[in-house]
Amino acid sequence: MRGRTTAGYNPAERGGTGSAMAKILIVDDEPNIREVVGLYLRRDGHDVVSAADGEEALELFRSAVPDLVVLDLMLPRLSGLEVCRRMQAERRVPLIMLTARGDEEERIVGLGIGADDYVVKPFSPRELAARVAAVLRRSGEAPPGSDGEKVLTFDGLRVDPNTREVLVGGEPATLTAREFDLLYHLASSPGRVYARDHLMEVVWGYAFSADTSTVTVHMRRLREKVEHDPAHPRYLQTVWGVGYKFGG
């Protein structure tokens, strides 16, 4: 696996099941976080390496070739967002950001440049380990459209799961993998209301109680890309107190 240059994680390559035996890079300037998170991930069977700053993180990313990165955004020497940009430019790798509670804009930027998810500090190491397992598991699955799922066409919007292309008013919209999955799932059943925890399970693979603000942040970015007026969405509608539905 050391020479692999794609993002698809295949547990069989290491002889394990589920998400076991991945190499994971933890990047955080707090030694306690590196130690505790590393303990939980090693307990799950992963091989863990760690870095205390952005420059060291990039060096280890190139030498250790991790299967997934846990990356704090507040780092010395080089910001976490810049580290994320450089990593994803070199090799697409599943990445989970660690962010401060009030840094929603940074989360949105991070998701837009290739991060798969984020966890807000302070966090439960057990939940982070579960999210790591879910991201690794999902990275090894075939994307929507691999089995010939149907193209969805609405007035002003076309969603093609075979090419993972979205056209808005005839113009291509650039979506992240998770944004596409979220849009396709909602658009597959117009009018049906989906709870946030349901979307967390089917789109992110989290079969446990988790912070559903991940869905909210992705929905905000998705509306900015596919809605003519994101403040008054036509397609991606909020059902207050429940979740979301596609109104196409």
State the CATH number of the domain containing residue 73: 3.40.50.2300
Domain check: are 120 and 192 in the same one? no
Asked if the structure places residue 132 within a domain, the reply is: yes
Whether residue 5 is contained in a domain is answered as: no
- The CATH number for 238's domain is 1.10.10.10
Vertex 174, ends 181 and 222: CA angle to 5°? 55
Indicate the DSSP class of residue 118: E
Domain-located, residue 201: yes
Residue 3: the pLDDT is: 31
State the Cα–Cα distance between residues 19 and 133, nearest whole angstrom: 5
Residues 161 and 89 in one domain: no
> Is 126 in the same domain as 16?
yes
Last residue of a domain, one of 139, 169, 204: 139
Question: Is 51 part of a structural domain of the chain?
Answer: yes
pLDDT of residue 53: 96
Q: Shortest CA distance to 118 belongs to which of 89, 95, 93, 138?
A: 95
Mean pLDDT for back-to-back runs of 10 residues, the chain (248 residues): 33 40 94 95 94 96 95 92 92 90 78 84 89 82 59 93 91 88 93 91 70 83 93 94 89
In a domain, 146, yes or no: no
Tally of domains within the chain: 2
128 and 32 together in one domain: yes
Residue 80, domain member (yes or no) = yes
What is the domain range of residue 220? 152-246
Nearest to 182 by CA among 203, 160, 205, 213: 203
Look over the chain and give the mean of its residue pLDDT values, rounded to a whole number. Answer: 84
Do 240 and 161 belong to one domain? yes
**20 and 97 together in one domain:** yes
25 with 105, same domain: the answer is yes
Do 134 and 27 lie in a common domain?
A: yes
d(CA 117, CA 114): 9
Domain annotation covers residue 174:
yes
Coil vs helix vs strand at 107? helix
Residue 88 forms part of a structural domain: yes
Same domain, 105 and 169: no
Count how many residues are written for the chain.
248
Q: What is the pLDDT of residue 5?
A: 28
**Pair 134, 21 in one domain:** yes
Q: Are 92 and 166 within one domain? A: no
Domain boundary among 88, 118, 139: 139
Task: Verify that 62 and 92 share a domain, yes or no.
Answer: yes
Amino acid 15: pLDDT = 36
Among 139, 164, 185, the domain-final residue is 139
So what's the pLDDT on residue 210? Answer: 60
Which pLDDT score is estimated for 209? Answer: 54
The answer to whether the CB of 69 falls within 8 A of the CB of 62 is: no
